[in-house]
Amino acid sequence: MNLKELKKMIEENDIKAIDFKYSDLIGRWYHITFPVRRLDYVVKNGIPFDGSSIPGMKSVESGDMILMPDLSTANISPFAETPTIRIICSICDADTKKGFIKDPRSIALRAHKYMNDLGIADQSFWIPELEFYLFDDVEYYNGKFESGYRVSSSQNKEALPDDFEDRNSLSQQDRKGYQMDVPLDKFSDVRQEMVNIMEDMNIGIRYHHHEVGLAAQQEIETELSEFPRIADSLMWMKDIVRNISLESGLSSTFMPKPMYNEAGNGLHFHMLLKKNGKNIFYKKGRFADLSEEAEYFIGGILKHGRSLTALTNPSTNSFKRLLPGFEAPTKLFYGLANRCAAIRIPKYATSEAIKRIEFRTGDATCNPYIAMSALLMAGLDGIKNKINPSDYNFGPFNDNIFNWPEAEINKLKSIPENLTEALKAFKEDNEYLLAGNVFDESFIDSWIQEKMKEIKEVNNRPHPYELNLYYNM
């Protein structure tokens, strides 16, 4: 969309306000709104703001930055009472108007450019699988003298809201919720309303369904979409989920592990690369019809896998999801149709058009601009340096590794057990991200500092279960 088309949209829909959105380092959206009459000036000059007030961006003494809009992301807000157009922005240096080195969206744009500059591919296509829970009620509190949380779900007999009467006996227990049908899939219409808005915004949805978690776990999966636009789409999708759940009297969460011993929320990424319109991951007759480039791409991701988790699984909660028994990977290897693998080759994706790989480790506490850029950079590093997965015992393994002898399982490289371990790996292995100036060392330092703050806040607080263990010692 260009400025002329945007003005036509404004006139036809009696738009009164323009809302600029931008992402901080860890993936939270911020916004600033202005009257539509200022559009011409703002499109040319941007909007200045204090970058030092955004965690991890800039220091107080050098905080001046500007927001520059990408008009192609413009859409009419389905939630604002005043007719409003929303536009995603990049954070730029105030003097040069170039993308700031730590701006997540600018990182994604640079990663895409770097891929093109290498000549390996000119397009990358992705399918994110977004998982989340819809709870009826959520309460959490943390103070000096009390701490705890409680979630309620009218779909799960073990977690019914206090005032809920299950008169129709539709609430379930002792079963999995995967693709559960209506009326047991109680929030199917809510999920459909989310998808309707996504489709109206030209975010192609492949399908949606109830996920494994019985307490109303959901999944929405897109069609193959091009990066970096798909990262914008993920930000919109999360925004739509939050707003529609709020309008429906529900509480949504993308937390990887909101409940003990229940299915966690992942964010799987399917990926393929194209050059001159041809899928370079496809080669008929090789293992799973994967080309050498595809295997090297896999090798790069798995070789840097421990480092990548600091960006794809960047919360203390993330590693509570990565446990055996929940279809979540704990070892770095790949395989055909193998759901305990960090990278799975979908068995149904047999044609050249859709031959792809699936990275199953990530979760939606990640910043999609950063996580997807990092995965792309790791894969490109694998192609550049011809990193063969078999040389590092990364597979392919097509069986359930947890049926192997323990000594054989232990030979496989493990995903970090916690965020501290992931950040250590990230600090030791990040050169693949610095290629082409896509990321830089100031980003790496800021990321580690911000995440160490989270670790400290969690570690310094007594855990409720510690009272079970130690109160009467």
pLDDT digits (tens, 9 = 90+) for 406-440: 999 999 999 999 999 999 999 999 999 999 999 99
Q: Residues with catalytic annotation?
A: 50, 129, 131, 211, 219, 268, 339, 358, 360
Q: What is the CATH number of the domain that holds 41?
A: 3.10.20.70
Give the pLDDT score at 428. Answer: 98
User: H-helix or E-strand containing 346?
Assistant: none
Neighbours of 15 (CB within 10 A): 20
Give the pLDDT score at 64. Answer: 84
Interval 348-376: pLDDT, tens: 999 999 999 999 999 999 999 999 999 99
Residue 179 makes CB contacts below 8 A (sequence gap 6+) with 209, 210
Give the pLDDT score at 381. Answer: 98
Give the pLDDT score at 163. Answer: 85
Give the pLDDT score at 108. Answer: 98
Give the pLDDT score at 226. Answer: 98
Looking at the structure, tell me whether residues 343 and 447 fall in a common domain: yes
Q: Please tell me whether residue 254 adopts helix, strand or coil conformation.
A: coil
Tell me the residue range of the domain where 152 lies. 123-470
Looking at the structure, tell me whether residues 131 and 89 fall in a common domain: no
The closest of 13, 3, 7 to 82, measured between CA atoms, is 13
> CA 442, CA 448: separation in Å to the nearest integer?
10
Contact 267, 366 (CB under 8 A): yes
- Residue reference for tokens 């009218």: 154
Assigned domain for 109 exists:
no
> CA 359, CA 332: separation in Å to the nearest integer?
10
Looking at the structure, tell me whether residues 88 and 165 fall in a common domain: no
Assigned domain for 112 exists:
no
How do strand 334-336 and strand 343-345 relate by DSSP bridges? Answer: parallel
Q: Is 127 exposed, middle or buried (0-12, 13-18, 19+ CB in 10 A)?
A: buried
Give the pLDDT score at 62. Answer: 52
Assigned domain for 196 exists:
yes
Neighbours of 445 (CB within 10 A): 13
Return the CA Rg of the chain.
23
> What are the beta bridge partners of residue 275?
278
Looking at the structure, tell me whether residues 187 and 46 fall in a common domain: no
Contact 88, 233 (CB under 8 A): no
Interval 328-340: pLDDT, tens: 899 999 999 888 8
Residue 169 makes CB contacts below 8 A (sequence gap 6+) with none
Looking at the structure, tell me whether residues 176 and 59 fall in a common domain: no
Give the pLDDT score at 48. Answer: 93
Q: What is the CATH number of the domain that holds 159?
A: 3.30.590.10
What stretches in the chain show pLDDT beneath 70? 59-62
Q: What is the identity of the amino acid at 402?
A: F
Give the pLDDT score at 61. Answer: 46
Give the pLDDT score at 58. Answer: 72
Q: Please tell me whether residue 23 adopts helix, strand or coil conformation.
A: strand
